[in-house]
Amino acid sequence: MNFEPIFVGGCQRSGTTVLHALTCTSPRTNDFLNECSYFMFLYRAYVQGEKFFDHHSKFYFRDREHMKQSHSVILRNELERTWDWLGRPEILALKSPALTGGFPLLGEMIPGARFIVSVRDPRDVVASRLDVERKQNAGKPINVDKIVRDQCEEYRRDFESLIEGQLGERLCVIQYEQMVAKDLSPLHRFGLTDIDPGKLWESKIHQMGKSGGGAYITPLYGGELSPASVGRYQEVLDKEKQALVLELCGDVADKVRALAA
């Protein structure tokens, strides 16, 4: 490929949107735009094909490796098409939190790709998820315990894959708390020294207020980098729920933070 693919991810509600917007302030990247859901669905087609290989897929490929290589070509061709559509930038920066758990496998299928991940205090992640659920339910009662446990399970699933993966120097982890304090030094590992927080959210593609994010949009969306939501879990979660979150996924959070060191 004549460009470098960089995928931005992290558990949902961990600051992936602002991280992607920051990455896209580099003059060497494409403009900030919405999530690469279409590409994610193409990737998931391979995952599903692998899951049902013995029942269905084996009739269409020589073996599992043949299917993997064939789908690798599909994914790389789609990246080439996207790169051309977005003006052929030096770096193609795409974002999808839903791809995060698949980054190690995606790294095998797209050898030149690199990955940037935001990690956030899981208590703040859960607090943010609860905010979303309350907005979506318009004041109706919600099952807080179930939401907390489901979000912690997602947190573990996404990040354990990265911890166990073999991405090495192709993975860059930045802590949300560090990012919103405007310390972007971890991104320098990928040569992204020309990121400009002053140009955050500038884009000829993405239109602020028309993202379709609905309940997922926070008051900080579209504004300057701010630590205003750091530690907000103290206002949203009682002591019991705070302890439960740390019990369910605090160890994973610590291991991912260690990758950022």
Instruction: Identify whether 46 is part of a domain.
Output: yes
Q: Count up the domains in the chain and report the number.
A: 1
pLDDT of the chain, 261 residues: tens digit per residue: 899 999 999 999 999 999 999 999 999 999 999 999 999 999 999 999 999 999 999 999 999 999 999 999 999 999 999 999 999 999 999 999 999 999 999 999 999 999 999 999 999 999 999 999 988 888 788 899 999 999 999 999 999 999 988 899 999 999 999 999 999 999 999 999 999 999 999 999 886 555 556 767 777 788 899 999 999 999 999 999 999 999 999 999 999 999 886
Rounded CA separation 96/12 (Å): 9
pLDDT score of 247: 97
Rounded CA separation 143/122 (Å): 18
Please name the helix (run of DSSP H) or strand (run of DSSP E) that holds residue 25, with its range, or none: none
CATH number, residue 35? 3.40.50.300
Tokens representing residue 114 in the block: 């690199």
Crossing angle of the two packed helices 144-164 and 239-260, in degrees rounded to 10: 20
pLDDT score of 121: 97
pLDDT score of 218: 74
CA angle 218, 116, 253 (to 5 degrees): 70
SS3 content of the chain, % helix, strand, coil (to 5): 55, 10, 35
pLDDT score of 260: 80
Residue-range definition of the domain harbouring residue 98: 4-121+167-227+254-260
Long-range own/partner contacts, residues 206-211 (CB < 8 A, 24 or more apart):
206/31, 206/32, 206/33, 206/34, 211/34
Tokens representing residue 75 in the block: 């994914």
Rounded CA separation 127/235 (Å): 9
pLDDT score of 227: 93
Is the pTM of the predicted complex or chain greater than 0.75?
Answer: yes
Rounded CA separation 56/50 (Å): 9
Instruction: Identify whether 132 is part of a domain.
Output: no
Instruction: Identify whether 145 is part of a domain.
Output: no
Tell me how far CA of residue 246 lies from CA of 3, 37, 67, 169, 216, in angstroms.
Answer: 40, 30, 40, 28, 23
Q: Phi and psi for 175 in degrees, rounded to 5?
A: -80, 135
Instruction: Identify whether 232 is part of a domain.
Output: no
Instruction: Identify whether 131 is part of a domain.
Output: no
pLDDT score of 24: 97
Sheet-wide strand order for 4-9? 91-95, 4-9, 114-119, 171-175
Structure-token match 């789609």, residue found: 78
How buried is residue 19: exposed, middle or buried, by Cβ count under 10 Å (0-12/13-18/19+)?
Answer: buried
Instruction: Identify whether 237 is part of a domain.
Output: no
- Residue 118: CA count within 13 A, CB half-sphere: 28
pLDDT score of 208: 56
Rounded CA separation 132/122 (Å): 15
Instruction: Identify whether 116 is part of a domain.
Output: yes
pLDDT score of 166: 85
